[in-house]
Amino acid sequence: MQNQAELNAPRLVLRGISKRYPGVVANDGVDLCVQRGEIHALMGENGAGKSTLMKIVYGVTRPDEGHIEWEGRPVTIANPKAARALGIGMVFQHFSLFETLSVAENISLALDQREPLPQLGERIREVSQRYGLPVDPQRLVHSMSVGERQRVEIVRCLLQQPRLLIMDEPTSVLTPQAVRVLFETLRRLADEGVSILYISHKLDEIRELCGTATVLRGGRVSGTATPAGESNASLARLMIGNELTECSLIPREAGEIKLELTNLTLASPDPFGTSLHNIDLRVRSGEIIGIAGVSGNGQAELMAAISGETPCTDAGQVRLCGLPVAQSDPARRRDLGLAFVPEDRLGHGVVPSLSLADNALLTGAASMVRRGLVKMRTARAFAERVIDAYKVKCNGTAALASSLSGGNLQKFIVGREISHEPKVMLAAQPTWGVDVGAAQMIRQALIDLRDRGGAVLVVSEELDELFSICDRIAVIAQGRLSPLRKPAETSIEEIGSWMSGGFIEREEAGRAAA
């Protein structure tokens, strides 16, 4: 039985938590207090120390200094099992589900106590119904969408009757409609007395959902706030330390067609990948076209087909500046004026163990190689210019790419690609995981390129981003592309319903009628 004092104590208190890794202080004297039944936001830019702090709470790592109190009692959380025993559950940003197993089998693997599968299936059904998270225990995970998989993760936590639920960037993989459902669930849990630690950098969501916010900056607490009473600007100021500049998209007339996809159909080589179906798209000089969609709906396949990493069968399916290139390799397309910022930075956009100068050479052969020989001086000068122009924080051109933070590396990659003055620019998730300040700079750089006459195609999961920088927006779902809309002529709701495939049924109905 718990006594009265324990019942009144906050659910979780962190005092003076510090954690140092070789070369970085991830957390520096962090205090945090989460009340019962409270939805508490933990905000901060990338590298602010949010993940480390949550790993400490969930027992994945141990703090170097500081104390943790759980419902009024000091505790040491040795490992995740101990955390779960206390009543702490965590839904990670990247799911850890076995695709070839069913929901019940996956959950069974993660439970600390063995339970017969039929009985577990019943409990899964019961919990999922109670919280409005429909999940079929018999279904195989590989057939589920990302949103459904997240539900499995949440149900898995709820089965253990947690009293504190940690959610790490849960909405980054959801459609706006799915976000609504998730928020309902979280509010219901909070009403039942479950505390929720909600990690995010999306200001609108935090203001809507969370009662209190603790903001981290550079490993320290830079402030606590009541998000409902703050504006996006004031929250951003707490997070990044200075004002956020808005990027400006001045309407202009688009020019000639630079990139043209005609009836692009491509079977995915990956059995769990998405095949592309009949995609038609024209990107003109001086315009930014955005492609929204829940990840895994063919974005990666579309980018690979345009960049040349996956060659197509019919050369006319992809035209670059009028020339059929669908069978050409990426180097040839680059020579014709294509630049590409891939979603994965380390290992795809750059070689982690090579210097920035070498990574400039990676896509700069046209100007840095003569008669098969590398002009290293030119490569270094080029890298130097990118570093200066895009304010990349690093130790000069000899710094290894892996030594840069995610945001700085992304600035380098975007800067490198834009500095080649491409006629067509592809950017996949250009600001994913990048802090607010750097994201703003990257968006502005894309807009500037468009203003100089570049044709830009942006794939992003962040609808706010697409609405702020795109001349027209389309949605990709199940490998099909929706019609294009001007941001002013559509709404988050319409795009959201398209993201779950709404336009496909309509198209098919239209075809049937005709």
Partner 1 sequence: MLRLEKRPEPSGAMRLASPLIAAVAMLITGLLIFLILGKNPVEAFQVFFIKPLDSVYGLGELLLKTTPLLLCALGLAIGFRANVWNIGAEGQLIVGALAGTGVALAWGETESSWILPAMLVAGIIGGMLWAAIPALLRTRFHTNEILTSLMLVYIAQLLLAWLVHGPWRDPMGFNFPQSRLFEEWELLPILWEGTRVNTAFLIALLLVAASWFFTQKTHAGFRMQVSGLAPAAATYAGFGEKRNIWLALLISGGTAGLAGIAEVAGPIGQLQPQISPGYGFAAIIVAFVGRLHPVGILLASLLMSLLYLGGEQAQMNLALPSAITGLFQGLLLFYLLAADLFVNFRLRVRTVAGAA
Contact segment (CB under 8 A) with partner 1 among 29-37, 104-112, 334-342, 488-496 equals: 334-342
Residue 420: both structure tokens together: 């080649």
- Judged by CB under 8 A, does residue 111 bind partner 1? no
Nearest to 295 by CA among 154, 149, 157: 149
User: Which two three-digit tokens encode residue 116?
Assistant: 């017969």
When asked if residue 271 is in the footprint of partner 1 (CB under 8 A), the reply is no
Give the nearer residue to partner 1 in terms of CB position, either 151 or 411.
411
342 sits near partner 1 (criterion: CB under 8 A): yes
Q: What x-and-dash track marks residues 61-90 binding partner 1 by CB under 8 A?
A: ---------------x-x------------
52 touches partner 1 by CB under 8 A: no
Which of 102/408 has CB closer to partner 1?
Answer: 408
| Member of 22, 229, 271, 510 binding partner 1 (CB under 8 A) | 22
Nearer to partner 1, 363 or 429 (CB): 363
Nearer to partner 1 by Cβ, of 91 and 361: the residue is 361
Q: What is the DSSP string of 173-185?
A: GS-HHHHHHHHHH
Options 85, 374, 389, 509; binder of partner 1; rule CB under 8 A: 374
- Confirm or reject binding of residue 207 to partner 1 (CB under 8 A): no
Query: To the nearest whole angstrom, how small is the minimum distance from the Cβ of residue 89 to partner 1?
Result: 23
By the rule CB under 8 A, 219 interacts with partner 1: no
369 binds partner 1 per the rule CB under 8 A:
yes
Interaction between residue 395 and partner 1 (CB under 8 A): no
Distance CA 182, CA 239 (A): 25
Strand order in the sheet with 212-217: 88-91, 164-168, 195-200, 39-44, 212-217, 220-225
Is 96 near partner 1 (CB under 8 A)? Answer: no
Task: Phi first, then psi: give them for residue 504, nearest 5 degrees.
Answer: -70, -45
Cα separation, 225 vs 41, in Å, equals 9
Q: Which residues of 349-373 are buried (b: 16+ CB within 10 A; e: fewer)?
A: bbbeeebbbbbbbbbbeeebeeeee
Closer residue to partner 1 in complex, CB, 118/372: 372
Examine residue 336 and tell whether it contacts partner 1 (CB under 8 A).
no
Q: Which of residues 305-324 bind partner 1 (CB under 8 A)?
A: 307-309
Q: Is 398 in the site for partner 1 (CB under 8 A)?
A: no
Report the C-alpha gap between 377 and 380 in whole angstroms.
5
Residue 374 CB, nearest distance to partner 1 (Å)?
5
Q: β-pairing, 472-477 with 323-324?
A: unpaired
Q: How many residues contact partner 1, by CB under 8 A?
A: 37
Burial, 2: exposed, middle or buried (Cβ in 10 Å; 0-12, 13-18, 19+)?
A: exposed
Angstrom distance (rounded) from CA 291 to CA 470: 9
Integer Cα distance of 11 and 151 in angstroms: 24
Any contact of residue 171 with partner 1 (CB under 8 A)? no
> Which residues does 353 contact at the CB level (< 8 Å), separation at least 6?
400, 401, 402
Using DSSP, state whether 407 is helix, strand or coil: helix
User: Is 354 among the residues that bind partner 1 (CB under 8 A)?
Assistant: yes
Q: Which range binds partner 1 by CB under 8 A, 3-11, 148-156, 202-210, 363-371?
A: 363-371
Interface positions with partner 1 (CB under 8 A) = 21-23, 76, 78, 307-309, 329-334, 340, 342, 344, 347-354, 358, 361-363, 365, 369, 372-374, 400, 402-403
